[in-house]
A = this chain, B = another copy of it.
Amino acid sequence: MLIQTKFRNSSARFADNDGILAFAQPSAVTLYEAGTTIYGQGDPTGQLYMVEFGTVRLCRVSADGRRQISAFYFAGEIFGLEADQQRHFYAESVDSAGIRVLRPSQGDKFNQSMFQVALKGLTRAQEHLMVLGRQNGTEKVAAFLLDVADRQGADRLVELSMQRCDIADYLGLSFETVSRILTKLKCAGTIRIPHVKQIELVDRGELEYLRG
Residues of A within 8 A of B (CB): 60, 62-64, 66-68, 70, 81-83, 88-89, 108, 111-112, 114-115, 118-123, 125-126, 128-130, 132-134, 169-172, 212
Distance A134 CA – B108 CA, assembled complex (angstroms) = 39
What are 20 of the A-B contact pairs (CB < 8 Å)?
A60-B130, A62-B212, A66-B134, A68-B133, A68-B134, A70-B130, A82-B119, A82-B123, A83-B123, A88-B126, A89-B126, A111-B115, A114-B115, A118-B119, A118-B122, A122-B122, A129-B129, A132-B172, A133-B170, A133-B171
Inter-chain contacts of A134 with B (CB < 8 A): 62, 66-68, 169, 172
**What is the oligomeric copy number?**
2
A107 smallest CB distance to B (angstroms): 12
A170 smallest CB distance to B (angstroms): 8
With most chain B CB atoms within 10 A of its CB, the pick from A115, A123, A130, A169 is A130
A200 smallest CB distance to B (angstroms): 26
Closest B residue to A69 by CB, please name it.
B133
Q: Give 5 new A-B contacts, CB below 8 A, not counting A81-B122, A122-B125.
A: A62-B130, A68-B130, A81-B119, A111-B115, A133-B170
Inter-chain contacts of A83 with B (CB < 8 A): 119-120, 122-123
Distance A64 CA – B210 CA, assembled complex (angstroms) = 11
Inter-chain contacts of A212 with B (CB < 8 A): 62-64
Inter-chain contacts of A111 with B (CB < 8 A): 111-112, 115
Q: When the two chains form their complex, are residues B133 and A125 in contact, meaning their CB atoms are under 8 A apart?
A: no
A194 smallest CB distance to B (angstroms): 29
With most chain B CB atoms within 10 A of its CB, the pick from A62, A66, A125 is A125
Those 7 A-B pairs whose CB atoms lie nearest each other, nearest first: A133-B172, A125-B125, A132-B132, A118-B118, A83-B119, A83-B123, A68-B133
